[in-house]
Amino acid sequence: MENLSLGFIGAGNMASSLIRGLLADGVSPNNITVADIDVTKLEALKAECGINTGSNQTIADSADVIVLAVKPQVMQAVCSELALGDQSPLVVSVAAGITIESLEKWLGPNTSIARCMPNTPALVGKGASGLFANDNTSQEQRDLAGRLMQAVGLSVWVDSESAIDTVTALSGSGPAYFFLFLEAMQDAATELGLSKDTANKLSLQTALGAAELALRSEDNVAELRCKVTSPGGTTERALEVFEAGGLRNLVTDAIKAAKLRSEELAKD
């Protein structure tokens, strides 16, 4: 990765996060070129990170890896104007809902393409990304795509492109689920007498600690739940209310709905 030419088309939050993560991993800013129609945003990124700037076609002509980080609604126009030539770069798309079939149609059927679904915690280096690549993509290129996304967190490969819709519903949209639950916990705590600041601090630290404990523990989350649930205690009483209210079924229905919407958007 350190000796490759990396090009980013789009300089938004996700591209900026990936660039900062790569720089932190030792990639030279001289190896990174970024293009964006927003000149102000582009110059700010150049001043902060020391990367190169150029045009979309400059990147297409020289990059070993091209990251497409533009909005889904302009992806067709951006890709259709690119002439990749014979250098066979790896193209990594981080745009939601844009299928590999569409990208191959716009970029050429022989293009090596990895489709990625990151999430917003990538902005703080704690992202979770699912990836899938087409048959044109070599193992070396797959490794490159994985390393690219690991610069901002965890990356995992899935077995089919349709699984990307499940990744979207689970980790792509997932942060909002936790934010909603934290919001509800904070509201309940303030209703019961805690200040907003105290409720905010305690709920956020509890979420952070629970996730860190689950990551470090050899126990799965069901076993961890049982360990913190004393018979006849306060936790058991709260969990009984959740179960009686159908929390599990509600979560399943919500994730299924998000997956269905991801499939609809891909078709559109």
Q: Is residue 211 part of a domain?
A: yes
- For the whole model, what pTM was predicted? 0.89
Show which of 139, 161, 183 is a domain's final residue.
161
Is there a single domain that holds both residue 142 and residue 48? yes
Q: How far is CA 175 from CA 54, 119, 248, in A?
A: 34, 8, 17
Q: Is residue 1 part of a domain?
A: no
Average pLDDT (78-100) is: 90
Q: Is residue 166 part of a domain?
A: no
- pLDDT of amino acid 214: 97
More confidently predicted of 254 and 3? 254
Is there a single domain that holds both residue 40 and residue 151? yes
* Contact criterion met (CB below 8 Å) for 136 and 167: no
- pLDDT of amino acid 266: 80
Q: Is residue 151 part of a domain?
A: yes
Closest listed residue to residue 18, CA positions, set 77, 92, 79, 112: 92
CATH number at residue 198: 1.10.3730.10
- pLDDT of amino acid 87: 72
* Tens-place pLDDT, residues 148-194: 999 999 999 999 999 999 999 999 999 999 999 999 999 999 999 99
Under the banding of pLDDT at 50, 70 and 90, the label for residue 88 is: confident
Is there a single domain that holds both residue 34 and residue 103? yes
- pLDDT of amino acid 97: 87
* Contact criterion met (CB below 8 Å) for 27 and 6: yes
* Tens-place pLDDT, residues 185-214: 999 999 999 999 999 999 999 999 999 999
Show which of 161, 187, 208 is a domain's final residue.
161
Under the banding of pLDDT at 50, 70 and 90, the label for residue 233 is: very high
Is there a single domain that holds both residue 153 and residue 184? no
Average pLDDT (57-65) is: 95
Is there a single domain that holds both residue 37 and residue 148? yes
Is there a single domain that holds both residue 121 and residue 66? yes
> Which residues constitute the domain of residue 143?
6-161
Name beta bridge partners: 132.
115
- pLDDT of amino acid 268: 74
- Give the number of domains in the chain: 2
Q: Is residue 168 part of a domain?
A: no
CATH number at residue 99: 3.40.50.720
Is there a single domain that holds both residue 125 and residue 253? no
Average pLDDT (218-228) is: 98
Is there a single domain that holds both residue 146 and residue 27? yes
Under the banding of pLDDT at 50, 70 and 90, the label for residue 265 is: confident
